[in-house]
Structure 1
Amino acid sequence: MDGSIEARVSHEVDNWLRWLPRWRPGTHRGRSRLCRTCFGSPVIVAAGLATDVPHAVQHALAMRVKLVIDAAVDEYTELNLPLLSREIRLNEERKAAASYHPTEGLDPEYKGLDLDPPTATDAPYLFTFAELARPDQAAAAASVPPPLTTEEKAAIRTELKLADEHAALIGSRVCAELFRHRDRMRQAVTEFVEPWVLALLADLDTALDSPIWPRSI
């Protein structure tokens, strides 16, 4: 695989296609809010997965593609935006002060999801992953950097704008490449996902069926 954006996207699509046969419908409680990564995502639209596709299937692709975009922007930032690169590095050092990192080491299809399911009003959790992930207060205080000068803030805002513009450019290239793969992705969804969805709908129809309900003739 070469290092181009198109090659990286193609590689992640291949990884997603290898993962897809292992997908199974979730049996836990549904999400309490829309996923900001997937809802309205141009990546999902370009891939042809915006409608009639379970969120977990969309999310697995979106997070793999996000890795490609993030890596490209990180490379650009490291090479061209020194102040922003320094701030990112300092922020990573502050995050490293946390004693527990529940989001690290996850497969792409699980990244970006809520750490904890919503609590029931009558059954609160004794602890949550989000609470455990909070940094130690003493370590966090020790790692707070000195305040930025007015000039540094202005320079970082300029670099942030450049990083955003580069991310938009990379995103456009990513979507164009995904569009080239959409037929085989839709075919894979038809083969591996739709049978599970149809089976769930059949089970739901059976569960809702009742001998006292009127039947259509």
Structure 2
Amino acid sequence: MSKDYRQFCGLARAAGVLGERWALLVVRDLTLGPRRFKDLGEGLPGVPTSVLTARLRELEQMGIVERRAARQPGGGVVYALTPYGAELTPILDRLGRWGAQRMSAPAPEEIITSSSLAAALRAAYRPGAVTAATTCSIHVGPASAWAAMDGAEVTVDVGVPEATPDLIIHGGPQFRLLLAGRLSPAEAITSGAVEIEGPHAVLEDFVRAFHVPLDDVIGTP
């Protein structure tokens, strides 16, 4: 931990741990589940290997991340959040929602990763908005994630679900406007902002369940 604000303050301690470059995004990706070093690197385009190594080492030293034996075929080691680290999940969700309030569309140099899409869906979920158990597969540009909602609970992850989803959504840059309620499901389909495979009624359920407001005053895209 190179940042030391020399204050006996919980916020200063948190900033010292998570304020290093890429640290928050490493933790964000690990909130979705254990990851191999290679998977973390591929899911964080642009992170230098040396920086990722340093961040993981620092997060381990602080008791936020731990190494575990991989259960997947091939064995090896995965990185996972400790119980202490997992306490950051709702905090990061709230922080992500706060940041997304002034994000209407990605800038030309910005990318959407599968992990950022999955985390955004988790942060956007409104418990109880939909009671029927429903699974949606969402694809936005190169990113793919899925969400299984069941009343008060939602499970998200990258890629595609093992079971056949109730709805598949293919979205472009305006997908964010659908989550903000600036486009209705019908308008999103008519305008080409999204294409769906499945019942239109499930898209309406999806929009009720996942919502992140958008400020009227937008500072940056």
TM-score, normalising length from structure 2?
0.25
Greater relative CO, 1 or 2 (CA 8 Å, sep 6+): 1
TM-score, normalising length from structure 1?
0.26
Structure with the bigger percentage of strand: 2
Q: Greater Rg, structure 1 or structure 2? A: 1
